[in-house]
Structure 1
């Protein structure tokens, strides 16, 4: 099965981990825009990253990874929902070099992780500078600075296959008989993984090959899929926020207001009747006005 995340836990030790593979979602997203190979890879790594991060949370939420920079990559925005939905988009100011370190691809960039709980709990955001030359290294930097948790992250994306692995040292428990050396062993073993292995081997096989001498519990897989949250109503609300005069000016110049979703490239078109309806209270519309389709 593709597009699945597998969580695992070291028994009798304060270490947990996750392995994710995303093929269908990665392909569906990158086919909707012509970003180029370098940006496609960063999108794939970003998708694997948000899936790994979302699975560490204990409550329903939306998680957003946002990389902003001066260029050539100006923006990378990747989102995951607790329902397993994924979407992503990017903006560039020039061709992004394929094999350059991340701080050259996204010069002067910062990485922000935002968690929006579905409940009334407080919104959280952590921001760090890019460090280490890769998105995985930047995420490790984020965990050191914002979460104070020892965490290692591996990400890889090539030719329609995206994958990632995370291992994390949990706060020490008071349980007797804990394995004090488990984190050091887990780190050393996980560091032997290669990008092709991470992308091509089944997640369960990755876990077994790396940790076959460890006492590991593997949980049921969590599915992920591409799903955009855009809708005509949401786009209309955004246009209303721009103001009536701007909409009428656009109508006069273009004959139509057209908006394309940055995530899925879906077009939304609004004609004069639609725009009139946006800025007219329903109670004030005449039944014979024709202000609807």
Structure 2
């Protein structure tokens, strides 16, 4: 059976360079089905989903990666999460009347910033800030890695509302090539060839064909794909914990203000979790989040 959503690693045999390819179809369409996104916003959201999937494999940690872009423009927020298990979700906020059909990143998110948060299952959280001052999201991410102390890394991202694709190249610590000039020449060679890719090629070609077209003279190994999928991390228990964090008095006040029922909506998947007075009473009595009444939630 053909896998529609996956990441796939490859490694150049004669140089210290690795790569990653990401294909998203079902998970991308699942994200877009939750809200009526204009095409430019859908494209940006797809590119950020692909970027998150690429970064999770590059960073190699157990936990959650969150990419959150903010601006004062027509798109004030785009947020994507990808877990180390390959579970994706995403959302965007936008002002439809301010979005032109051909708008790109500079028009959608002027003076924007992207916060990249790594939230490991064990250990401390880490956050990096990326300025969205480039022509594309891929250019902004590539610039961030070029100016940081991390390994040189380049991104190519595209999406069309049906498919989202991503390509990442990263230079590894010196092993096969020790001479700095040889390392730089090898890096420039591989990156320059990747730069010849068209959007249509990246969107439509399978990984084997794409890599052969670019690097048929460079021996490389393509590893087994890793599945990706849309999965929302919301739950009734997490919603209940949000109510508990308010305190009993405020939770009961919310009940009064909302005719005896508090409804918590997940913005990522549109799932609704409802809590009535019996539910709230049970929560603060330590009885858990499962509904004690016959009311269906």
Tell me whether the two structures share a fold, i.e. TM-score over 0.5: yes
CA pair 36-247 structure 1, distance change in 2 beyond 3 A: farther
Give the secondary structure class of the aligned counterpart of 1:73: coil
Deviation at 1:280, TM superposition (A): 2.8
Write out per-residue CA displacement over residues 142-165 of structure 1, whole angstroms, 9 at most, x where no aligned residue: 212334432221111113111011
Deviation at 1:64, TM superposition (A): 1.1
Deviation at 1:174, TM superposition (A): 6.4
Question: What residue is the counterpart of 1:243 in the other structure?
Answer: 247
1:39 to 7, 29, 41: 41
Cα distance in 1 between the residues matched to 2:132 and 2:88: 23
Give the secondary structure class of the aligned counterpart of 2:48: helix
Give the secondary structure class of the aligned counterpart of 1:116: strand
1:99 to 99, 102, 109: 102
Question: What residue is the counterpart of 2:275 in the other structure?
Answer: 270
Write out per-residue CA displacement over residues 101-128 of structure 1, whole angstroms, 9 at most, x where no aligned residue: 3132112211111112222x32211112
CA pair 176-40 structure 1, distance change in 2 beyond 3 A: closer
Question: What residue is the counterpart of 1:286 in the other structure?
Answer: none
The normalised TM-score by structure 1 is: 0.90
Cα distance in 1 between the residues matched to 2:148 and 2:64: 18
Give the secondary structure class of the aligned counterpart of 1:79: strand
The answer on whether the counterparts of 2:112 and 2:133 sit within 8 Å (CA) in structure 1 is no
Verify: 1:90 aligned to 2:92, yes or no: yes
The answer on whether the counterparts of 2:20 and 2:54 sit within 8 Å (CA) in structure 1 is yes
Deviation at 1:206, TM superposition (A): 1.2
Question: What residue is the counterpart of 1:292 in the other structure?
Answer: 292
The answer on whether the counterparts of 2:9 and 2:21 sit within 8 Å (CA) in structure 1 is yes
Gaps of 5+ in 1: 284-290
CA pair 147-21 structure 1, distance change in 2 beyond 3 A: farther
Write out per-residue CA displacement over residues 22-56 of structure 1, whole angstroms, 9 at most, x where no aligned residue: 00000011101122222111111011001111111
1:125 to 116, 124, 127: 127
Q: How does 1:1-293 map to 2 (within 5 A)?
A: 1-94=3-96, 95-119=98-122, 121-173=123-175, 180=183, 181-255=185-259, 256-282=261-287, 292-293=292-293
Cα distance in 1 between the residues matched to 2:155 and 2:117: 18
Cα distance in 2 between the residues matched to 1:135 and 1:3: 21
Give the secondary structure class of the aligned counterpart of 2:148: helix
Question: What residue is the counterpart of 1:287 in the other structure?
Answer: none
Cα distance in 2 between the residues matched to 1:128 and 1:58: 20
CA pair 61-252 structure 1, distance change in 2 beyond 3 A: closer
Answer with 54-63 or 224-233: which moved more. 54-63
Answer with 94-103 or 41-50: which moved more. 94-103
Paired positions, count: 285
Cα distance in 2 between the residues matched to 1:175 and 1:154: 25
Aligned CA RMSD, in angstroms, stands at 2.1
CA pair 96-248 structure 1, distance change in 2 beyond 3 A: farther
Deviation at 1:230, TM superposition (A): 0.6
The normalised TM-score by structure 2 is: 0.89
Write out per-residue CA displacement over residues 206-226 of structure 1, whole angstroms, 9 at most, x where no aligned residue: 111111110111111111000
Answer with 143-152 or 201-210: which moved more. 143-152
